[in-house]
Amino acid sequence: MDYLALSNKVLHALNEVELTTANFANSKGIQTAVKEFINRSINDIYTAELEWPFLHTDGTITTVAGTAEYSLVSGYKSIDVDTAYLIEASEDIKVIPYIPYTQFTNVFRERDLDPTTTDNRDKPDYFYLTQDDKIGLTPIPDKEYTFYYEYWATHTDLSASTDSPDIPARYQDTIIIRSEYYVNQLRSNIDAASMKDKEYQNKIERMRIDLINKPDYMRSTAIASNKRFSTRHPKYF
């Protein structure tokens, strides 16, 4: 469902006047509150788990000879450190393990930053994450490679009436239930709000069972390194 449809689902349940594409941007009163509660509810769902598979995506970095660190994509929440690999122009694939930044500084940094030599440049063996949200490669790349990694994205609030959340369609009723909870809170309907909160918590637990604890998802994050070459995990839903 898009933003308009989600809002109208809640308004209909409340027996309130529904919105149209023509007046969506100029909503008033309870309509505006419901739109705000839709976004608040989506945020609640997104933050209920760090690693929802529907927020899992991939990124690439093209290395430059002599450059060790590269900016991450904007809007990432966390990096899936078990998924990185490197490809040369020849399509030779190399899995790149993650090392903590402290390990890089203790073991490799002095070698990599030695200004008296270029012998410290080679095909990278490891990657690390810096404190200023960059990906670093060691040894420093000696030429152009393509570095692939996967990550969990953050989200942006819905704005236009046609915007849609990343939450799979079959779980979008969770957004509506959570929004009804907020409306009942606004109206001081404590008992009704409590019931909606319990219903929401049950829906979140169902999503965890289906998506986080799903056997094929669990396998997809633990596949053998020589199979971890696809740019995306198998479909989760």
Above 80 in pLDDT, residue 217?
no
Say whether pLDDT at 215 is over 60. Answer: no
Average pLDDT, the chain: 88
Q: Answer whether residue 232 shows pLDDT above 80.
A: no
CA separation for the pair 87, 124 (Å, rounded): 11
How many contiguous H segments (helices) and E segments (strands) does the chain have?
Answer: 7, 9
pLDDT over 60 (residue 179): yes
> Residue with structure tokens 């933003």?
3
Query: Bigger pLDDT: 178 or 119?
Result: 178
In 17-58, which ranges are continuous DSSP H helix? 30-48
pTM for this model (two decimals) = 0.77
Report H helices in the chain.
3-13, 30-48, 101-103, 109-112, 173-186, 190-207, 215-220
